[in-house]
Amino acid sequence: QSALTQPASVSGSPGQSITISCTGTSSDVGGYNYVSWYQQHPGKAPKLMIYDVSNRPSGVSNRFSGSKSGNTASLTISGLQAEDEADYYCSSYTSSSAFPYVFGTGTKVTVL
Amino acid sequence: QVQLQESGPGLVKPSQTLSLTCTVSGGSISSGGYYWSWIRQHPGKGLEWIGYIYYSGSTYYNPSLKSRVTISVDTSKNQFSLKLSSVTAADTAVYYCARGRGPSSIYWGQGTLVTVSS
């Protein structure tokens, strides 16, 4: 089961916008609108930020938005804040494995 | 508010079986439409699916662990459990339980570190 590909790190200054990519194939990201994004602070459990490509759970800031184009999903954080510094993981449904879900490799977001 | 809490030994000897339980509160494990999963994270690494179970007992396991994993559910106790056999140091990780729908899990346990060492 191959992990989805994310950049190892992304950085930005407070107030800026950053985008994290999550690249898969037509058997996962590109083929289904079942992409989720998680935020994980050190020592904490992951927190769901986006589900079904672009939907935010209740309570998640509207500074977080999700989208998809082809085989690549993206998470955009607008108005970057110090508290956004964390690891971010994408996850997708996949039809190319005996197990139906796969995580991305993870991206460390640094607020400069 | 649904809450999940992992419990079990924090230290397991090599070749033995790792056993963890996840206790669910604030909601019934028999609620339809959700699955109950185990996910682990090796120190400093990314997230890895272990597997999941529906309240009916249907299970799905990560092929890379399938030969060693058993996930079960006890609806009377509102708990589900993980057993991972023949552990090695490579199984040292933080183990999370979660409630999911599709690839989305909004409710997670706090995680429990399991170290495999003699």
At A4-58, the pLDDT tens digits run 999 999 999 999 999 999 999 999 999 999 999 999 999 999 999 999 999 999 9
Report yes or no: A94 and A27 within 8 Å, Cβ to Cβ. yes
Residue A95 structure tokens: 């039809």
Nearest-by-CA chain B residue for A52: B104
**Residue A84, SS3 per DSSP:** helix
B91: phi then psi, degrees, rounded to nearest 5? -95, 0
Do the chains contact at A103 and B102, CB–CB below 8 Å?
Answer: no
- Give the A window 18-37 contacts with B, CB below 8 Å: 34-36
For chain A, give the percent of residues with pLDDT over 90: 94
Query: What is the residue-averaged pLDDT of chain B?
Result: 95
Max Cα distance, chain B (Å) = 41
Q: Considering chain B, what percentage of its residues have pLDDT values greater than 70?
A: 100
Chain segment B53-104, per-residue pLDDT in tens? 998 889 999 999 999 999 999 999 999 999 999 999 999 999 999 998 888 8
d(CA A92, CA A27): 10
User: Which residues have CB under 8 Å from A59's CB, separation 6+?
Assistant: none
For strands A9-12 and A107-111, give the pairing: parallel
Cβ–Cβ of B51/A99 closer than 8 Å? yes
Report how far residue B102's alpha carbon sits from residue B105's, in angstroms, rounded to the nearest whole number: 8
Does pLDDT of A1 surpass 70? no
Question: How many residues in chain B?
Answer: 118
Tell me what the pLDDT averaged over chain A comes to. Answer: 96
